[in-house]
Structure 1
Amino acid sequence: MSSQPVWGAATDIGTRRASNEDSFVAEPPVFMVADGMGGHAAGEVASAAAVSAVRRLVTAQDVREPDVQRRLEAARSLLQALPPTLGRSPGTTISGVVLTSRDGVPHWLMVNLGDSRTYRLQGDVLQQLSVDHSEVQELVDAGHISPAEAAHHARRHVVTRSLSAASSLAADYLLLPVEPGDRMLVCSDGLTGELDDAMIAGLLRSRPHPQDAAEALVAAAVAAGGRDNVTVVVVDAPQP
């Protein structure tokens, strides 16, 4: 395969928020989105710290889980060192992929902490690779509510894991071989809170270039209500 993927990224404050607490990195081989929590200033600081930490992997080769974990630990250390003047404790989700290799074979290393999401589009099939760390996902897993009910549940934004000063950093990791035609989507919940998977898949399929796809997804989420900050990174696998 060629050395570089093709990618695009877009973000928007939305229609109801005073600031954008999302941050992202889209620099090969690192493609991640962080959605800050804790209100204005605290959320921005947390997501920026997470992205600043994982950006250090941009110059790394054959990234592995411990490499990502060390960067998350570095971000947590930054948050622990913050003065208490920020008010509410800052925290952030983080999700995305690192393009790496195993024995010379290209792989996606997915990481997820919180309820931002990572998907893979293969042909007409959109698959959510990450599992939300949220109260409603636990209710779905236990069979108490359906996925459709979860989309409108009053506590759908309550996360059960995050990157914060007190975090255990129990991130999920998944290593997948890169398949020809893979299109990866990384997004904050400002996208998935407004658009269902069918609409997301349709926009991903209809825009050949990742930058056009990212901008179209963000624009559609804002048009649908834009109740939260919206950030999207789209990555196409390197061509053989």
Structure 2
Amino acid sequence: MTEIGLAAAERTLSVPGRPDASLTIAWGAGTDTGHRRDHNEDSLLAVPPIFAVADGMGGHSAGDVASAAVVTRLSEVITADFTEADAIEQGLRAATVDIGHAADEKQLGVGTTVTGAALTLLDGEPYWMVFNVGDSRVYMFENGQLTQVSVDHSVVQEMVDSGLIRAEDAESHPDSNVITRAVGFNAEPYPDYWMVPVRAGLRLLMCSDGLTKEINAERIRLYLAAGLRPSDTVDGLIDAALTAGGRDNVTAIVVDVLEAADSSEVEDTLPRSQVPTP
């Protein structure tokens, strides 16, 4: 388990090329081994402009090595308050090489998921560039509504998309832990991207599946809706996952946009509908 960055902080950033525009974000981050694992293979990065969660796989310490490589390499590509997709991919490629060097030849393979959000500029406007490889997730919460931004790279997600199973049955399916894309395994990483405008009042959640396999979307929404500080929200979510069973490592990052320039003229690229409010 590797944690890079502050567990709780607030920061104001200037928007390049717009001396009259700035944005203020606050975040909280945390991780726990859970009740059934003897070590934590999750890692996290919470250093603007990149916030990321990685969930390693490979057994023993191998998963920890893989997830640590990803967050370490992503931290190394941070050179300013805003970044680009090329930098994210540079970090993931470097991590893939590191994972390949660390992998034991006797093991079937070593890899990790990674999901996160990075501040970027699109036509001069600040956006969250959400990126994902695997089945860790990014959600957004705004105006009382929870939306899953990322799309799982998993066998059950493909079955849901093809209509073979219902979305509500995915977590209990025997293949719920089988992912179709990862960082590592000596393969080129292929993240998916979505663009979300940086709007005041927007709240992002990045988490490993140790959270989403224990508490459902509506419970997640309620925790995000409570209006607590990001660090307190993270603590509450992790405690809820542990109380529900804590069968896996659980990691979460919550980022709030406290202040931002008006972005009413820009659009997002969300692939998922909102989780309905009862």
TM-score band (shorter)?
A: over 0.9
Deviates more, 1:33-42 or 1:55-64: 55-64
Partner deviation per Cα, 1:183-220 (whole Å, 9 max, x = no partner): 00000000000000000010111142100001100000
Deviates more, 1:80-89 or 1:28-37: 80-89
Q: How does 1:10-29 map to 2 (within 5 A)?
A: 10-29=30-49
Could you tell me how far apart the structure 1 residues matched to 2:57 and 2:256 are?
Answer: 29
Letter in 1 for 2:66: A
Regions of 4+ moved over 6 Å: none
Specify the SS of the correspondent of 1:121: strand
Number of the residue aligned with 2:204: 184
The two structures, once aligned, show a CA RMSD in angstroms of 1.5
Number of the residue aligned with 1:139: 159
Partner deviation per Cα, 1:112-144 (whole Å, 9 max, x = no partner): 000000010012111000000000001001100
The answer on 1:162 being equivalent to 2:182 is yes
Letter in 2 for 1:129: V
Stretches of structure 1 that go unaligned for 5 or more consecutive residues are none
Number of the residue aligned with 1:234: 254
Letter in 1 for 2:238: V
Larger helix percent? 1
| Deviation at residue 222 of structure 1 after TM alignment | 0.4
Could you tell me how far apart the structure 2 residues matched to 1:86 and 1:27 are?
Answer: 35
Could you tell me how far apart the structure 2 residues matched to 1:24 and 1:134 are?
Answer: 21
| Deviation at residue 22 of structure 1 after TM alignment | 0.2
Partner deviation per Cα, 1:75-101 (whole Å, 9 max, x = no partner): 011112225267342100000100122
Q: Please point out which of 64, 79, 88 is paired with 1:59.
A: 79
| Deviation at residue 4 of structure 1 after TM alignment | 3.9
Distance 1:74 1:238, change over 3 A: farther
CA contact (8 A) 1:161 1:167 kept: no
Aligned length: 240
Number of the residue aligned with 1:41: 61
Letter in 2 for 1:216: G
The answer on 1:224 being equivalent to 2:220 is no
Could you tell me how far apart the structure 1 residues matched to 2:134 and 2:247 are?
Answer: 19
CA contact (8 A) 2:49 2:82 kept: no
How much identity, in percent, do the aligned residues show? 44
Distance 1:105 1:90, change over 3 A: same
Q: Please point out which of 96, 110, 121 is paired with 2:141.
A: 121
Q: Please point out which of 83, 88, 92 is paired with 2:112.
A: 92
Specify the SS of the correspondent of 2:53: strand
Larger radius of gyration: 2
| Deviation at residue 40 of structure 1 after TM alignment | 1.5
Distance 1:207 1:85, change over 3 A: farther
Number of the residue aligned with 2:17: none
Specify the SS of the correspondent of 1:59: coil
Stretches of structure 2 that go unaligned for 5 or more consecutive residues are 1-20, 261-278
The TM-score normalised by the length of structure 2 is 0.83
Number of the residue aligned with 2:214: 194
CA contact (8 A) 1:121 1:182 kept: yes
Partner deviation per Cα, 1:12-69 (whole Å, 9 max, x = no partner): 1111001000000011111100000011211000000001011123333531111111
Could you tell me how far apart the structure 1 residues matched to 2:79 and 2:143 are?
Answer: 31
Specify the SS of the correspondent of 2:102: coil
Number of the residue aligned with 2:130: 110
